[in-house]
Structure 1
Amino acid sequence: MKRDLPVAQLMPGDILLYRGRGRISDAIRLIDRSQVSHSALFIGRHGETGRAVGEAIREGLVRRELARSAGDAEWVESRRLKEPPASLDPVMEQAGHYLDRGERYAFEQVLLLAFLCLTRNLVDSPALGGLVRETLDAAAGFLLRLFDTGRQPMICSEFVFRCYGEALPGAIVLSVRTPRALRSGEKGPPAGGGIHPGSALFRLFERHGGAPSGDGDTPAAPLRAPVPAEAFAVEQRIEEYVRDLQRRTPKAARIDLASPELAPSFERFAASLHRVKHPPGTAAVPPAEALGGLVEAAADFVTPGDLQRSRSLAFCGKLKMKE
């Protein structure tokens, strides 16, 4: 049901979900089977007349004007806890803690898309392998740029979920989530959490016991591999994939991340994620160990679509930006 919400009726702590524009936003919604591709937290008044949000973007975790944040979106909706606590001050304090250290973090949509390619069930297409490969390479390049500047990745919806989860544990309930990720070498594939049964990462465990290559003692592929400098290569692959889907009957894809086509890109992505999450000087690790860290991150993976689907949150309306 469509409902307009005047900006003046927003409350600090409201969760804002954006339907973004552009091919990467389109791909995020397509793969996550969602209406939204970005999220932010409404902070409140900003200056004399403005209103601010806290969000993860390329420049870091930032406070910025709502109008600027929503400027490129088709629409933005607001959601609130169905059972609100007496005060959301703890959530806002946690948000302030992150935002005051916002230069330590950064986010690119291609990182969200990479996790979706690994953890969601995809529709098969001859163009799918190229999309997954280019996306993983672009995301690995982004992670390496973060490492070079001493920053950490923070997905937009992860920031929102952390603010609530760390201040009010259990306030936002998502789909069934495993209490911990299975590490490489344990029996059975990971299930629950952000890793969907049938996804590429799930099948990797199912078919290969979690090892992306035959040699479990060889360090992961070199991190300094050529990666796309811009999102253009990924956007081209998205366009090819979507165009192909329109011409064929949908069927589930069976992606093998250990295949010669995908294994190098997958290993680079896992190794780059491991590198950026560990102190400088940390030695390279075998693919199986890097994969363990990737699975832990994927099991706790939260998307804007997960927030939109949460039964803990009530739809308040789509923002009426012009009053």
Structure 2
Amino acid sequence: MHVRDLNAGDILLFSPEEGSWISKAITWLTDAPVSHAAMTYQIPTKLVEETPPAVRIAEATMRFPGRTVHVMRLNKPIDDFKPVMDVAARYLNGEAPYAMNNLYLVGMLLIYKKFTPSDTTQKIILRILKRLTEKLLDAINQHKYPDKHPMVCSQFVFECYQEAGKAYQLSIKSGNLQSDNTRSSLLHKAFKHKRQQTLLGALQSEKATDEELAQELYKAMNDETLLASGTVSDELLDAIHDFAQTLHGVSQQVDLDKADPKQGIAILQAQSAMFVTPGDLLRHCPELRHIGDIKLK
């Protein structure tokens, strides 16, 4: 398939970025060969994507090299994708959801995934959550609030279709994070946990880069002990409450002392039912069909 064969509104799912541990972690956590989602915008050579610092337009030929792009298209005939383009344009024109870096997607996957991480993995998840909490705390302290909850790349694409009207709406069936198994998610455990202490206001900056944290996480997750049953530390569950409190503060545009961790947990729970991964758009969306791949050197 060639770039010129793309239509407006085609959903583009990218294979992991070469050398990126964050991309590798996303594919491992979702058990899918894709780590990023974007959408063709108006003409075949343009794409729109949710990526820091905000939703942006990019040249397709600049974003494609070195990665396989799986192209998904609605499986019913629709001639006019203007409603989908209009939603994307609205996000572009100052109403974009709050953009976090790709480590945010990793953090959300870790919170929502039904698994019991090993002690080593828990320690790394703790550091990742502290990094994300610190970023949200910075937004609160600088009074830089978003118009909507933070949104990841695949959720942005999904929402563009959802908000365009009934004819365009997508659904996720038996999604990766919706699978019914005997394990509980970290979020579920945090919901039942009473916070022992908080580090908010005294967070120490993590010295490792986002990629270094993802590398440590990826290597720890490949340890066989990941699948062993065990307990989750109070410190990690406290960190989820800290993260939830800052998320509530950002989403409600209030200072930290007025933010409520329980309300933040409620936000995370509500989002979990609607959370869409790049892998879901590839494998678990019945309204989409895979029409081909593009691979540019």
The TM-score bracket by the shorter chain reads 0.7 to 0.9
1:260 Cα offset (Å)? 2.4
What TM-score comes out, normalization by structure 1 length? 0.78
1:120 Cα offset (Å)? 1.2
Query: Aligned letter for 2:28?
Result: L
The answer to whether 1:251 aligns with 2:227 is yes
Partner in structure 1 of residue 89 of structure 2: 96
1:238 partner SS: helix
Partner Cα distance (1:194, 1:284) in 2: 32
Q: Which deviates further from its counterpart, 74-83 or 226-235?
A: 226-235
Point out the structure with the larger helix share.
Answer: 2
1:17 partner SS: strand
The 1:292–1:239 alpha-carbon spacing in structure 2 relative to 1, beyond 3 Å, is: closer
1:11 partner SS: coil
2:72 partner SS: strand
Structure 1, unpaired ranges of 5+: 178-191
Partner in structure 2 of residue 129 of structure 1: 122
Partner in structure 2 of residue 278 of structure 1: 252
Describe how 1:137-152 pairs up with structure 2 within 5 A.
137-147=130-140, 148=142, 149-151=144-146
1:174 partner SS: coil
The 1:83–1:68 alpha-carbon spacing in structure 2 relative to 1, beyond 3 Å, is: same
Partner Cα distance (1:212, 1:24) in 2: 29
The answer to whether 1:106 aligns with 2:81 is no
1:138 partner SS: helix
Q: Which deviates further from its counterpart, 56-65 or 123-132?
A: 123-132
The 1:284–1:84 alpha-carbon spacing in structure 2 relative to 1, beyond 3 Å, is: farther
User: Do the aligned partners of 1:136 and 1:269 also contact (CA within 8 Å) in 2?
Assistant: yes
Partner Cα distance (1:129, 1:251) in 2: 13
User: Do the aligned partners of 2:112 and 2:177 also contact (CA within 8 Å) in 1?
Assistant: no
1:249 Cα offset (Å)? 7.1
User: Do the aligned partners of 2:111 and 2:186 also contact (CA within 8 Å) in 1?
Assistant: yes
Query: Aligned letter for 2:170?
Result: I
The answer to whether 1:300 aligns with 2:297 is no
2:227 partner SS: coil
The answer to whether 1:23 aligns with 2:8 is no
2:289 partner SS: strand
The 1:320–1:143 alpha-carbon spacing in structure 2 relative to 1, beyond 3 Å, is: same
2:42 partner SS: strand
The 1:44–1:130 alpha-carbon spacing in structure 2 relative to 1, beyond 3 Å, is: same
What TM-score comes out, normalization by structure 2 length? 0.84
Root mean square deviation of aligned Cα: 2.9
The 1:239–1:85 alpha-carbon spacing in structure 2 relative to 1, beyond 3 Å, is: closer
The answer to whether 1:9 aligns with 2:14 is no
1:137 Cα offset (Å)? 1.6
1:109 Cα offset (Å)? 1.0
Partner Cα distance (2:228, 2:95) in 1: 39
The 1:280–1:90 alpha-carbon spacing in structure 2 relative to 1, beyond 3 Å, is: same
Partner Cα distance (2:42, 2:108) in 1: 31
The 1:82–1:232 alpha-carbon spacing in structure 2 relative to 1, beyond 3 Å, is: closer
Partner in structure 1 of residue 54 of structure 2: 60
Q: Alignment length, in residue pairs?
A: 287
Partner Cα distance (1:250, 1:235) in 2: 16
Partner Cα distance (1:249, 1:279) in 2: 41
Percent of residue pairs bearing the same amino acid type: 26
1:213 partner SS: coil
Partner in structure 1 of residue 78 of structure 2: 85
Partner Cα distance (1:54, 1:284) in 2: 35
Query: Aligned letter for 2:213?
Result: V
The answer to whether 1:35 aligns with 2:25 is no
Partner Cα distance (2:238, 2:2) in 1: 49
Partner Cα distance (1:320, 1:237) in 2: 29
Describe how 1:200-239 pairs up with structure 2 within 5 A.
200-201=185-186, 203-204=188-189, 210-213=191-194, 222-223=200-201, 225-228=203-206, 230-239=209-218
User: Do the aligned partners of 1:81 and 1:313 also contact (CA within 8 Å) in 2?
Assistant: yes
Deviations, residues 264-301 of structure 1 (Å, cap 9, x unaligned): 32122111211111124474344323211221122221
